[in-house]
Chains A and B, each alone.
Chain A
Amino acid sequence: MTDSIDDAPVADTQGHDPTPFDRQADAEIRVLVMKALVELPAAQRQAVELSYYEGLSHSEIAERLKEPVGTIKTRIKLGMSKLKAALQPCWNID
């Protein structure tokens, strides 16, 4: 359900008639982000996704996964740190 909601803005952007350069850049960033996410350890990726895509706080994630809050915080921090390192080229392009 969340996917379909998030798809809507993408459809909206397509509606703004982007240039072929924009499309190419989007495609490259998409590949980079997907690759960075896939390369994360599963637990860290899960924590990041639950937080960002589902809007849960670290305590809510901890409650859902039956894990300590500290563990969830550490996973999110490590995951974000790795993503930052992996996605550094993207905002250099920007």
Chain B
Amino acid sequence: MTHEEIEDAIPLYAIGALDRSERTAVESHLLTGCGTCHVLAKDYQAVAGLLPFGLRSVAPPSKSKILAAVFENAASADQGDTVGADGLGVGAWINEWLAPFIKPSLQPVISVVLLLLLAGTGWYAWMTHRQVANEAGQREQIEAALHDASTRTAALQRDLTQQEQALASLKEEVEHRIGTVSDTRNKLIEREAELDIVREELSRREQETAGLRKALAQRDDMLTFLRSAHVKVVSLAGIESAKSAGAFLLYDNETKKAFFYAFNMPELPPGKTYQLWAIVDKPMSAGTFRTDSGHKSRVVLKDLPDLSRVSKFAVSLEPEGGRPQPTGTIYLVGQT
């Protein structure tokens, strides 16, 4: 050991904290007569000598107190089993329980550690409880939201179904309307067809009416001629190829008009017509006429020559449109 090490070791030497070898080394050094170390050792030994004054002063126990302590220990040993751990405080319980395993100087530390552990466990349990409660609350919220969403979905589906039904009914309605329109169109077409028929009928009737009017007018003309006092009648008889045919002429001398009526006339060949001739000095055309289905003919003639100048009336077959002079076969002849 160096001198510095010896000096450092002197306080420990003074209170007996050195190992045997160190103590021997220090004592050997002191025996060499080192003045510094000697003074130092003396001072520290004085300090060590005062240390017993630091102990608490305790009065010596009396005999009765010792006996009382002995009896108390015996009594507590008897009650130990019946009272049990319930009678001990936390620190005492830990001391009692851990004493066999832990050094007494460490027991307060262990107690603190155990208390910290207990507090930590409690805190962890409380946090876990809160977390579980929070999670339960969140789960409830999610379930409630889910329930709302499913309710809304159900409502939407219901609406959808109703709308689909409404759509289906509208579709039916539209189809029905389309059917109705189609029916109506068909009816319209039928009516138009009927209308066409009616129109044709009307047209036919109008033609008939026109014919009838014409016939009526001719009858009126004939009646007029028949009623007139100035009318003279000339009869025409069929000759040769048309012996059954005949005609008569109602001549009004004042108006120079005549009503000619022929019957049983032979059917006209195509491109031919009958022509009436008034023969004064020579034949003068009085007009052309055709026969109807009953081989009859009614014609009103105008601008005829005076009857007194006419000797004969004759009817001949002429080409269409007539001729200035007779060219064809004579069918009827009558004297005035």
Residue numbers of A with Cβ under 8 A of B are 3-4, 6-11, 26, 29-30, 32-34, 36-37, 48, 51-53, 55-59, 61, 64-65, 73, 76-77, 80-81, 83-84, 87, 90-91
Q: Are A77 and B12 in contact (CB under 8 A)?
A: yes
Interface of A (DSSP majority class) = helix
Q: Closest B residue to A86 by CB, please name it.
A: B47
Q: Are A81 and B19 in contact (CB under 8 A)?
A: no
Q: Are B14 and A80 in contact (CB under 8 A)?
A: yes
Q: Are B53 and A33 in contact (CB under 8 A)?
A: yes
Q: Are A52 and B55 in contact (CB under 8 A)?
A: no
- List residues of chain A with CB within 8 A of the CB of B50: 29, 32-33, 83, 87, 90
Given contacts A64-B103, A84-B43, whether A76 and B53 have CB atoms under 8 Å apart is no
Of B8, B19, B44, the residue contacting A84 (CB under 8 A) is: B44
Q: Are A57 and B17 in contact (CB under 8 A)?
A: yes
Q: Closest A residue to B15 by CB, please name it.
A: A52
User: Which among A4, A33, A61 has the greatest number of chain B C-beta atoms within 10 A?
Assistant: A33
Residue numbers of B with Cβ under 8 A of A are 8, 11-12, 14-19, 43-44, 46-48, 50-58, 60, 103, 105
Of A3, A64, A80, the residue contacting B47 (CB under 8 A) is: A80
Given contacts A51-B12, A76-B12, A77-B11, whether A30 and B47 have CB atoms under 8 Å apart is no
Given contacts A29-B50, A87-B47, A91-B46, whether A51 and B55 have CB atoms under 8 Å apart is no
Q: Are B58 and A76 in contact (CB under 8 A)?
A: no
Q: Are A77 and B8 in contact (CB under 8 A)?
A: yes
Q: Are A6 and B52 in contact (CB under 8 A)?
A: yes
Q: Are A51 and B58 in contact (CB under 8 A)?
A: no
Given contacts A6-B52, A57-B19, A61-B17, whether A76 and B57 have CB atoms under 8 Å apart is no
**Can you name 11 A-B pairs with beta carbons within 8 Å?**
A7-B58, A9-B52, A26-B53, A33-B51, A34-B53, A51-B12, A51-B15, A53-B55, A58-B12, A83-B50, A87-B46
Of A7, A9, A30, A80, the residue contacting B15 (CB under 8 A) is: A80
- A6–B8 Cα distance when bound, in Å, is 29
Given contacts A30-B53, A57-B17, whether A7 and B11 have CB atoms under 8 Å apart is no
- List residues of chain B with CB within 8 A of the CB of A30: 53-54, 57
- List residues of chain A with CB within 8 A of the CB of B53: 26, 29-30, 32-34
Of B11, B19, B54, the residue contacting A80 (CB under 8 A) is: B11
- A13–B248 Cα distance when bound, in Å, is 207
- List residues of chain A with CB within 8 A of the CB of B43: 84
- A63–B54 Cα distance when bound, in Å, is 25
Of B15, B51, B55, B60, the residue contacting A76 (CB under 8 A) is: B15
- A85–B42 Cα distance when bound, in Å, is 14
A30 smallest CB distance to B (angstroms): 5
User: Which among B17, B18, B52 has the greatest number of chain A C-beta atoms within 10 A?
Assistant: B17
Q: Are B12 and A3 in contact (CB under 8 A)?
A: no
- List residues of chain A with CB within 8 A of the CB of B105: 64-65
- A65–B14 Cα distance when bound, in Å, is 21
Given contacts A29-B53, A80-B15, A81-B11, whether A52 and B48 have CB atoms under 8 Å apart is yes
A31 smallest CB distance to B (angstroms): 9
Given contacts A76-B12, A83-B47, A91-B46, whether A51 and B17 have CB atoms under 8 Å apart is yes
Given contacts A59-B19, A76-B17, whether A84 and B56 have CB atoms under 8 Å apart is no
B331 smallest CB distance to A (angstroms): 173
B77 smallest CB distance to A (angstroms): 19
Closest 6 CB pairs of A and B: A80-B11, A51-B17, A33-B53, A33-B54, A52-B15, A37-B54
- A73–B11 Cα distance when bound, in Å, is 9
Q: Are B44 and A52 in contact (CB under 8 A)?
A: no
Q: Are B55 and A48 in contact (CB under 8 A)?
A: no
